Amino acid sequence: MSDIKKVVLAYSGGLDTSVIVRWLQDTYNCEVVTFTADIGQGEEVEPARAKAEALGVKEIYIEDLREEFVRDYVFPMFRANTVYEGEYLLGTSIARPLISRRLIEIANETGADAISHGATGKGNDQVRFELGAYALKPGVKVIAPWREWDLNSREKLMAYCDERNIPVEKKKGKSPYSMDANLLHISYEGINLEDPWAEAEEDMWRWSVAPEDAPDKPTYIELTYRKGDIVAIDGQEMKPHEVLEHLNKVAGANGIGRIDIVENRYVGMKSRGCYETPGGTIMLRAHRAIESITLDREVAHLKDSIMPRYAEVIYNGYWWSPEREALQALIDNTQEYVNGTVRLKLYKGNVDVVGRKSDDSLFDEKIATFEEDQGAYDQKDAEGFIKLNALRLRIAASKGRKL
């Protein structure tokens, strides 16, 4: 272990990562560099500095990455209308490649020998962090304490803190839900949620009101798109992270964005979790709406066919992979004409599209109308179209083949 002199740790300032700082110092006799990313988790990150200093950390990185997170990770993902297993909007998954990249960059800047994280050996995050790290620095050493130590309970972690005078907040009673938050979502796992039959407690939710408690009057908003990304809300230009911050507030106030799912983790087990993704829920619905009038049919269907694969790539931790880059290039190419405005009605947990318009629209009212189209479409053409498409079916039927 003597070859490890300096380690960069993804540090939140909470119980687990505070213990990890001291554990790395004790176990590897090394210097620890902490990296704390503000990606919109809704809590102050600056207190992590004082906690790290109290643990003897000399090099402390605390960075506001909110704009980069939404611009370079969330927005590209939403151009694909990405959903994992039909429900999950990948809020945790999409944050990991950014953190991995900065861990490696800081390791290079500080001359560190290794990186470390607080993900457990049961979850997906260990895979995501490490796949990203290895893709960006093939020879990097990764230290995953949860796979090495025997501090496998909150009680053991707290006892370790007491023995070594590690300053952490001590919460009485039950352990809180295991939560992960960023600008896109907040997740909840553990306690009663480990029983897939048990309903989540109402006071668990942080970002949204219950749909039944939402206002009795609907809220209308208009989203302006440019090349597949939202650039303005109700006519006001906003930066990417400001867009998501605003949508989270207005959606949460209308009871939008809660889901309760059992998902298939990449490591093999099933996991029950609850997620709040207020702004993302609106973004998904609105993006599909603007694409509905601006994308060619076959392009739209092609995107839909590759989306599950793209979602798996991100969920499983392969953001920094050639397949993700190839899929992204195709997806981004389709967004050239995804411009215009979508009008939405938000009401008691629902997001309804009530209008869409674009200078690049492929919707032709003269052709689509049920009224007189003045020759824009010759309905007689449909007869030959149908017969040609039915030809193989007619031949098979004439030969007596059964379906």
Return the active site residues.
16, 96, 125, 178
Report how far residue 305's alpha carbon sits from residue 398's, in angstroms, rounded to the nearest whole number: 33
Residue 338 CB contacts under 8 Å (≥ 6 apart), including other chains: 79, 225, 227, 228, 287, 290, 291, 294, 295, 360
Report how far residue 388's alpha carbon sits from residue 158's, in angstroms, rounded to the nearest whole number: 73
- Write down the residue that tokens 């605390």 correspond to: 62
Q: Tokens representing 98?
A: 């950014």
Residue 257 in contact with residue 280, Cβ under 8 Å? yes
Q: Could you count the other beta carbons within 10 Å of the beta carbon of residue 292? A: 15
Residue from 105, 110, 92, 93 nearest 133 by CA: 105
Residue 190 burial by Cβ neighbours in a 10 Å radius (0-12, 13-18, 19+)? middle
